[in-house]
């Protein structure tokens, strides 16, 4: 935990918070905090600052907080990814959040196993819990938007043009003729397919709706590695 992430419900007075559960265990075991010690803190979707430990018991800890900084800036990137297998989904969610992605949309694709949509790992509680862990890792406070679309063609034809409007819209595709540039400026829409790649029909539909297929090599990567590599390559 690089940041103690707090929520409005944690406050018991103007500048004093009370925490328990996972954050208390991390405070006690990882930071080895004792009264008077300070750590980095942030308010969910708000400012960053410091928290000073006032008291700690096996059940709760109380801290005094002061805000004096801004969270790190987000990447102006909307990541659109074919829904990967559940454990890989959590890795992609974590990586994209740590790297500062503003918005993520997970979509259907021909090669997406239908069972992936029934996993509880993509449920709201699981997604939120994993987003909070990623924000703590990154020292960030601002939750990215995470959305799901279960129908490929309606999303690409009806929603994608609006999502991609005013952005550089690209799809990672090993067979594409154009090479992916480095360090793009402005807003970016990045589309990543399943591990087997989008079908030719899907790539054609993406291209017809304003997304340019681009390659950064012919090697086939796991989804979590591809997302990391693509975000690192296009980030300003």
> Domain check: are 27 and 87 in the same one?
no
pLDDT in tens, 198-222: 999 999 999 999 999 988 777 777 8
Question: What pTM value is reported for the model?
Answer: 0.93
**Domain with 65 in it: what CATH number?**
2.40.240.20
pLDDT-above-70 percentage for the chain = 98
Give residue 82's domain range.
75-234
Domain end position, chosen among 16, 45, 69:
69
> Domain check: are 60 and 130 in the same one?
no
> Which SS3 state, helix, strand or coil, does residue 19 take?
strand
> Domain check: are 212 and 153 in the same one?
yes
**Pairing mode, strands 48-56 and 38-43:** antiparallel
Domain end position, chosen among 20, 44, 69:
69
> Which SS3 state, helix, strand or coil, does residue 195 take?
coil
> Domain check: are 50 and 89 in the same one?
no
Distance CA 20, CA 11 (A): 12
> Domain check: are 32 and 140 in the same one?
no
> Domain check: are 147 and 216 in the same one?
yes
pLDDT by position in tens, the chain (length 236): 689 999 999 999 999 999 999 999 988 876 677 888 999 999 999 999 999 999 999 999 999 999 999 999 999 999 999 999 999 999 999 999 999 999 999 999 999 999 999 999 999 999 999 999 999 999 999 999 999 999 999 999 999 999 999 999 999 887 778 888 888 889 999 999 998 889 999 999 999 999 999 887 777 778 898 899 889 888 87
> Domain check: are 62 and 80 in the same one?
no
> Domain check: are 99 and 177 in the same one?
yes
> Domain check: are 44 and 138 in the same one?
no
Closest CA to 231 of 83, 97, 141: 97
**Domain with 147 in it: what CATH number?**
3.40.1280.10
**Number of domains making up the chain:** 2
Domain end position, chosen among 44, 69, 94:
69
Distance CA 100, CA 143 (A): 9
> Domain check: are 15 and 124 in the same one?
no
């Amino acid at each position: 935990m690089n940041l103690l992430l707090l929520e409005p419900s944690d406050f018991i007075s103007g500048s004093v918070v009370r925490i328990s559960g996972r954050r208390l265990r991390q405070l006690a075991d990882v930071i080895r905090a004792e009264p008077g010690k300070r750590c980095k803190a942030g308010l969910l979707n708000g400012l960053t600052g410091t928290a000073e430990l006032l008291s700690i018991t096996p059940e709760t800890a109380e801290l005094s907080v002061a805000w004096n900084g801004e969270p790190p800036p987000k990447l102006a990137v909307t990541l659109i990814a074919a829904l990967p297998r559940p454990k890989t989904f959590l890795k992609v969610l974590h990586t994209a959040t740590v790297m500062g992605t503003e918005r993520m949309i997970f979509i259907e694709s021909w090669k997406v196993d239908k069972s992936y949509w029934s996993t509880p790992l993509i449920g709201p509680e699981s997604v939120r819990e994993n987003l909070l862990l990623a924000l703590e890792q990154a020292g960030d406070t601002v939750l990215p938007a995470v959305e799901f679309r279960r129908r490929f063609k309606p999303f690409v034809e009806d929603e994608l043009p609006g999502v991609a409007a005013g952005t550089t819209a690209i799809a990672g595709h090993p067979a594409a003729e154009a090479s992916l540039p480095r360090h793009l400026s402005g807003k970016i829409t990045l589309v990543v397919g399943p591990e087997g790649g989008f079908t030719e029909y899907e790539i054609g539909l993406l291209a017809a709706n304003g997304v340019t297929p681009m390659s950064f090599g012919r090697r086939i990567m796991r989804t979590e590695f591809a997302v990391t590599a693509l975000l690192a390559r296009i980030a300003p």
